[in-house]
């Protein structure tokens, strides 16, 4: 699933970071490999606190230890703002040195970050059976953030020997954590002065056909045509000689043809999601023009830029997703659980003019949910959108940003409304979270470098707007407290 979110990748690697689906899993794997890369994190020093497992039960008082980080080098002691960088659906190994560092310096802010429940080292259980996953939801995660926010404010007050003081808070997130950032401001408006929802996927969508369509728009007619032809050729070769075509992609381990087709769809998505469209499209369009084998050309791309880290291929394998042992590779199972219960974002083929195989329909996704979790799980997106409002979210002081090439933008709020500005970052390689992470997303590029965006101006313009709104809302917050 390429889909989702996060993503940062080594510049040479296309994409290891997807935050959503397959993507998600890859992200956590890459992040853990990069953990030791100097300069990637502002801090990776762990702190812990006891969090309630079930915020909605009056009788269950069990707790688990949740991991967090703090970075105080830029903090204007003791009254500066506190920026809560929300970690989403992957291991959270520290506070990333992206554009948030620039903002913290500018505003004299403390940066803190809480790992999302279940991911990384913040799992309440060592065995991730479906039964044990029942406390994994965005609703519980938001409550975690609220409780943690109070805990942290209290601990600062103790540290500075004062009471009843509130620093001005601001929350940030990208992709799923971007949605959490918006929802936090919605559900707990008294706990934050405002929110940045970068590529925040606030609308849950069951049949997310816009996703594939946006890939086509971002690719342009020639590259889109090549991708569609590749899908047809691969489907034909699967009938003729399944093993041969899977081996071409180094994916003979994938038993099911539909899972293989899903992998191929994700591999293309990643190029647009994370700002590397030319790595994909230039060779494909060349191959088409010179009459070379398109499937060969695509296989080279997929092997070089997508299935290039250990464990990546396995995230498309249901046997692996069904593994209940907690490990550093559990991220994709966990994200699928959230997909299968709450948010869906099923990246189904549109009925007309699709790039991905028409076998990737709603049934495909529901079967996957059943195979992996063993029950008839069903994502009730209707209820999720009733709970949060979808794109009709009734909140204030949230900035929504979207990258023009990002297929996820159609699950975000793209239209401005009073007190909730929406900004689009338009350029050839502006993708998921480009305001915070620059382009293409590279974990080794510090401070969310925008220099390699095809239009750094587009990124600077949106960053400037972000700063103006933050300035305004933080000052209004301060006034109210005074
Ligand atoms: C950024 O662009 C420069 C000049 O085109 C190039 O040398 C460099 O490798 C690029 N960096 C990334 C991360 O793509
Ligand atoms: C959490 O609670 C347990 C049991 O009371 C205690 O042993 C542990 O030290 C606590 N952890 C933290 C980080 O406070
Ligand atoms: C905290 O403030 C109170 C009142 O000003 C003072 O009596 C006390 O000594 C202070 N404690 C510390 C640890 O600084
Ligand atoms: C999703 O699409 C399938 C196939 O077109 C259709 O049967 C189903 O009703 C759709 N579901 C929703 C919730 O729109
Ligand atoms: C499940 O994952 C664990 C940890 O990665 C591994 O040791 C174990 O062999 C896996 N089990 C199966 C059945 O693949
Ligand atoms: C299907 O897509 C093609 C190519 O974009 C377009 O020309 C055609 O009008 C579409 N047909 C329908 C029924 O939407
Ligand atoms: C703020 C903004 O520019 N939003 C745009 C995002 O993209 C959609 C779809 O292209 C436009 O309709 C919005 O105007």
What pLDDT band is residue 479 in, cutting at 50, 70 and 90? low
Q: Report the predicted TM-score, pTM, of the whole model to 2 decimal places.
A: 0.92
Instruction: Indicate if the pLDDT at residue 32 is higher than 80.
Output: no
Catalytic pick among 357, 432, 434, 435:
432
Distance of CA 226 to the CA centre of its chain: 28
pLDDT digit string, tens, across residues 385-417: 999 999 999 999 999 999 999 999 999 999 998
pLDDT tens digits for range 361-374: 999 999 999 999 99
Q: Which of 134, 59, 83, 91 is nearest to 328 (CA)?
A: 91
Report d(CA 433, CA 274) in Å as an integer: 8
In this prediction, residue 309 has a pLDDT band, given cuts at 50, 70 and 90, of: confident
Question: Which residues have a Cβ under 8 Å from the Cβ of 210 and sit 6 or more positions away?
Answer: 407, 410
Distance, CA of 255 to chain centre = 27
Q: Is the dihedral of CA 340, 345, 347, 348 positive or negative?
A: positive
What does each C-alpha distance from 348 to 58, 186, 342, 360, 368 come to in angstroms?
Answer: 40, 30, 17, 5, 13
291 in the Ramachandran plot: left (φ > 0), alpha (ψ -120 to 50) or beta? left
pLDDT in tens, 103-116: 999 999 999 999 99
If one residue of 278, 452, 455, 459 were mutated to test the ligand 1 pocket, choosing by the most ligand atoms within 8 A of its CB, it would be 452
Measured CA to CA, the distance from residue 17 to residue 15 in angstroms comes to 5
What's the rounded Cα separation, in Å, for the pair 125 and 132?
A: 7
Interatomic CA distance for residues 102 and 85, integer angstroms: 13
> What is the pLDDT, as a whole number, of residue 94?
95
CA 390-395-398 angle, 5° bins = 95
Q: Please indicate whether residue 418 or residue 151 has the higher confidence score (pLDDT).
A: 151
Segment 265-307, tens digit of pLDDT: 999 999 999 999 999 999 999 999 999 999 999 999 999 999 9
Beta bridge partners of 63: 52
Rounded CA separation 275/434 (Å): 8
| Atom 12, ligand 5: residue with shortest CA distance | 323
**CA-closest candidate to residue 145, choices 49, 242, 4:** 49
Residue 45 Rama label (left phi>0; alpha psi -120 to 50; beta): beta
Of 223, 227, 234, 229, which Cα lies nearest the Cα of 286?
Answer: 223
Q: Cβ neighbours of residue 410 under 8 Å, at least 6 residues apart?
A: 203, 205, 208, 210, 211, 214
Choice among 212, 406, 435, 449 that is catalytic: 406
> Ligand 5 centre from 45 Cα, in Å?
29
Decide: 14 and 274 in contact? Cβ < 8 Å: yes
pLDDT of res. 2: 42
10 and 270 in contact (C-beta within 8 Å)?
no
Q: What is the pLDDT of residue 184?
A: 98
Known catalytic membership, residue 406: yes
Buried-state track 106-135, b at ≥16 Cβ within 10 A, e below 16: ebebbbbbbbbbbbbebbbbeebebebbeb
Residue with CA closest to ligand 2 atom 3: 50
Which pLDDT value is given to residue 63?
A: 98
Sign of CA dihedral 167, 390, 213, 21: positive
Distance CA 360, CA 411 (A): 19
Among 11, 43, 48, 47, CA closest to 30: 11
In angstroms, what is the span from residue 50 Cα to ligand 2's centroid? 6
Q: Tell me, yes or no, if 432 is annotated catalytic.
A: yes
Cα 279 vs. chain centroid, distance in angstroms? 21
Residue 122 a catalytic site member: no
The one catalytic residue in 28, 113, 175, 181 is 175
CB of 105 closer than 8 Å to CB of 74: yes
Residue nearest to atom 7 of ligand 7 (CA): 414
Nearest 5°: phi and psi at 390? 60, -135
- The reported pLDDT for the residue numbered 24 is 40
2 C-alpha to center of ligand 4: Å? 21
Domains assigned to the chain: 6-205+385-481 (3.40.50.1820), 210-381 (no CATH)
Q: How far, in Å, CA of 423 to CA of 281, rounded? A: 27
Q: What is the mean pLDDT of the chain?
A: 91
Residue 51 C-alpha from the chain's centroid: 23
pLDDT tens column, 445-454: 667 889 899 9
């Amino acid at each position: 699933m390429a889909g989702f979110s996060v993503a940062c990748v080594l510049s040479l690697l296309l994409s290891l970071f997807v935050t959503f689906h397959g993507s998600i899993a890859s992200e956590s794997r890459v992040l853990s490999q990069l953990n030791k890369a100097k300069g990637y994190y502002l801090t990776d020093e762990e702190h812990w606190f006891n969090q309630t497992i079930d915020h909605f039960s009056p009788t269950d008082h069990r707790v688990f230890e949740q991991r967090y980080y703090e970075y105080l080098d830029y903090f204007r002691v003791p009254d500066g703002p506190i920026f809560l960088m929300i970690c989403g659906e992957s291991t959270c190994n520290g506070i990333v040195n992206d554009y948030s560092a620039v903002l913290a310096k500018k505003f004299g802010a403390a940066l803190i970050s809480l790992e999302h429940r279940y991911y990384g080292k913040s799992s309440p259980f060592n065995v991730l059976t479906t039964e044990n996953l029942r406390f994994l939801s965005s609703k519980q995660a938001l409550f975690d953030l609220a409780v943690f926010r109070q805990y942290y404010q209290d601990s600062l007050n103790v540290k500075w020997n004062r009471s009843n003081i509130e620093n001005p808070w601001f929350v940030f997130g990208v992709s799923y954590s971007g949605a959490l950032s918006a929802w936090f401001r919605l559900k707990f408006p008294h706990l934050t002065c405002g929110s940045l929802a970068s590529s925040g996927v606030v609308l849950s969508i069951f049949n997310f056909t816009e996703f594939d369509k946006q890939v086509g728009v971002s690719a342009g007619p020639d590259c889109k045509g090549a991708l569609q032809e590749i899908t047809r050729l691969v489907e034909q070769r699967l009938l003729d000689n399944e093993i041969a075509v899977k081996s071409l992609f180094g994916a003979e381990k994938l038993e099911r043809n539909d899972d293989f087709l899903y992998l191929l769809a994700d591999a293309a998505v990643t190029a647009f999601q994370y700002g590397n469209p030319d790595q994909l499209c230039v060779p494909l369009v060349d191959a088409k023009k010179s009459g070379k084998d398109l499937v060969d050309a695509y296989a080279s791309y997929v092997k070089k830029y997508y299935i290039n880290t250990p464990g990546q291929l396995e995230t498309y394998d249901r046997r692996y997703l069904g593994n209940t042992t907690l490990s550093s590779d559990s991220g994709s199972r966990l994200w699928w659980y959230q997909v299968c219960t709450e948010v869906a974002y099923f990246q189904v083929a549109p009925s007309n003019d699709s790039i991905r195989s028409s076998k990737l329909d709603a049934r495909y996704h529901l079967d996957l949910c059943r195979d992996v979790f063993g029950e008839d799980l069903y994502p009730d997106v209707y209820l999720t959108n009733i709970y949060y409002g979808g794109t009709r979210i009734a909140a204030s002081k949230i900035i929504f940003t979207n990258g023009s090439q990002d297929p996820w933008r159609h699950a975000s709020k793209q239209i401005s409304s009073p007190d909730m500005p929406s900004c689009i970052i338009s350029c050839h390689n502006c993708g998921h979270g480009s305001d915070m992470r620059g382009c293409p997303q590279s974990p080794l590029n510090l401070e969310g470098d925008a220099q390699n965006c095809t239009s750094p101006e587009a990124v600077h313009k949106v960053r400037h707007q972000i700063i103006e709104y933050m300035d305004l809302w933080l000052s209004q917050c301060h006034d109210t407290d005074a």
